[in-house]
Structure 1
Amino acid sequence: MLPESYLASKDATLASIIESTPTFKKTDWNNDVYLALLESIVSQQISVKAADSIFARFRALFEDLYPHPELLLQKSNEELRSAGLSFQKINYLQNVAVFATEKGIDYQHLNLLSDDEIVAFLTPIKGVGRWTVEMLLMFVMDRPDVFPVDDLVIRQKMVRAYHLTETGRALHKQLHIIAENWRPYRTMACRYLWRWKPES
């Protein structure tokens, strides 16, 4: 059974969403978790257009357009600021580079770990939270069963689709109960929710 068919058989509401929502294209990061992690930090709390522009300028600071950890750590704050980065984001990018040089952010190594083990491995980096790692799991490592319950859009779409009235911890619990029906394809379910456009 195809994943979409499986999800539809388990959840009538999700079946309707899948039917009315276009399929999505897979992203191709060439399994580069390190670079994707840097981009996710640059993208925090700004528009996609601004993030793309700043990240392009950031990469242009490096000869081969690749911010190798050791080269990133050699850049002055002034050079990095010239790309449009805030001092906080510069600090977070440097934290990732230090972690990469000391412990490694290697796809082959990470791919041997479970989703929870990858979250535990990467979240000690200051500036990298659980949500950021879950996005990497979904879009870079192509893990099939990730449920980013703290993603604002996912929460809003689920509240709308399932007519939920709970708040706080009760809502958190209810979202998990609903998503349990989607295992082992919670990633795909969330991808459809992101793309779903509810009728007004």
Structure 2
Amino acid sequence: MNRTIKTQAQLQQHIEALITIEPQFATIYRPANPPTLRVREQGFRQLCQTIISQQLSVAVADSIWQKIVDHRLTNEKAILSSEDKALRALGLSKQKIRYLKSLAGHHIDYQHLNELPDEKVIDQLTRVTGIGRWTAEIYCLFSLKRSDIFAANDLALQIATQDFLKLGKRPGEATMRRIAAQWHPYRSAAAYLLWSHYAMIKQRQGIVT
């Protein structure tokens, strides 16, 4: 099985393989309405947008990002050469400016990340101020399309896992990693199914996601 999931058909294959090692996933898998493969671009621009969106509403993050794009500040050189005052005027906080300049200053070889094992990628990305393990794992999953990634600190995954496994309380990150280890090497497929299950939970509660 490939270590990347680049097509909807490949995601389907990984889901089916996951169900063979953990049949309980069949209870939350709906073949007529399967999880949709999420694909994001790779590189500085994507991580820049991710950092900007941290702890902001979608509307506010989108507004700031559009200003960044309009001012052609989506590359390392442009960010590093911009004065903090100018970036602040676009809506960025001092903290976010520090994060973006840290990202730009690391001069990551994004193409080379495709050749590295998952943990090496995560290690490189988390050296950047403002990028934690969750952000690095999400980049691995959606931008690098890795097939065995599970963002254990993701709140939606924790809520979905609690419901899926009928746990007494929401599992923390360490517990989530122990649970997900059983789903290797199809943890990305597990994440997709659990995110889909989370959406169903919210629908049951009358919450639109």
Q: What TM-score, normalized by structure 1, do the two folds share?
A: 0.84
Give the letter for the 1:155 counterpart: Q
Q: Does 1:90 align with 2:93?
A: no
| Superposition deviation, residue 50 in structure 1 | 2.0
Number of equivalenced pairs = 189
| Superposition deviation, residue 14 in structure 1 | 1.9
Matched residues in 2 for 1:167 and 1:5: separation? Answer: 26
Matched residues in 2 for 1:178 and 1:136: separation? Answer: 22
Q: Deviations over 1:138-188 (max 9, x none)?
A: 0100010011111111111101211112567xx545433432332212112
Structure 1 gap ranges (5+):
none
| Structure showing greater relative contact order (alpha-carbon pairs closer than 8 Å, 6 or more residues apart) | 1
Change (3 A) 1:45 1:139: same
Matched residues in 2 for 1:27 and 1:48: separation? Answer: 18
Q: Deviations over 1:100-128 (max 9, x none)?
A: 1xxxx223211121111111112121111
Aligned equivalent of 2:51, options 41, 59, 69 = 41
Q: Does 1:79 align with 2:97?
A: no
Q: Does 1:164 align with 2:167?
A: yes
Q: Does 1:175 align with 2:185?
A: no
Q: Secondary structure at the match of 2:30?
A: helix
Aligned equivalent of 2:20, options 9, 32, 36 = 9
Deviates further, 5-14 or 125-134: 5-14
Q: Specify the alignment match of 2:35 in structure 1.
A: 23
Q: Secondary structure at the match of 1:139?
A: helix
Superposed CA RMSD in Å reads: 2.1
Q: Does 1:109 align with 2:112?
A: yes
Change (3 A) 1:90 1:158: same
Task: Tell me if the contact between 1:33 and 1:136 (Cα under 8 Å) persists in the aligned partners.
Answer: no
Structure 2 gap ranges (5+):
1-11
Q: Secondary structure at the match of 2:92?
A: coil
Deviates further, 40-49 or 158-167: 158-167
Task: Tell me if the contact between 2:79 and 2:104 (Cα under 8 Å) persists in the aligned partners.
Answer: yes
Instruction: Work out the percentage of aligned pairs sharing the same amino acid.
Output: 32
Aligned equivalent of 1:69, options 76, 79, 87 = 76
Matched residues in 2 for 1:189 and 1:179: separation? Answer: 8
Change (3 A) 1:172 1:86: closer
Task: Tell me if the contact between 1:92 and 1:127 (Cα under 8 Å) persists in the aligned partners.
Answer: yes
Q: Secondary structure at the match of 1:19?
A: coil
Q: What TM-score, normalized by structure 2, do the two folds share?
A: 0.81
Q: Secondary structure at the match of 2:130?
A: coil
Task: Tell me if the contact between 2:44 and 2:74 (Cα under 8 Å) persists in the aligned partners.
Answer: no
Task: Tell me if the contact between 1:8 and 1:18 (Cα under 8 Å) persists in the aligned partners.
Answer: no
Matched residues in 2 for 1:129 and 1:7: separation? Answer: 27
| Superposition deviation, residue 60 in structure 1 | 1.2
Task: Tell me if the contact between 2:79 and 2:101 (Cα under 8 Å) persists in the aligned partners.
Answer: yes
Q: Secondary structure at the match of 1:160?
A: helix
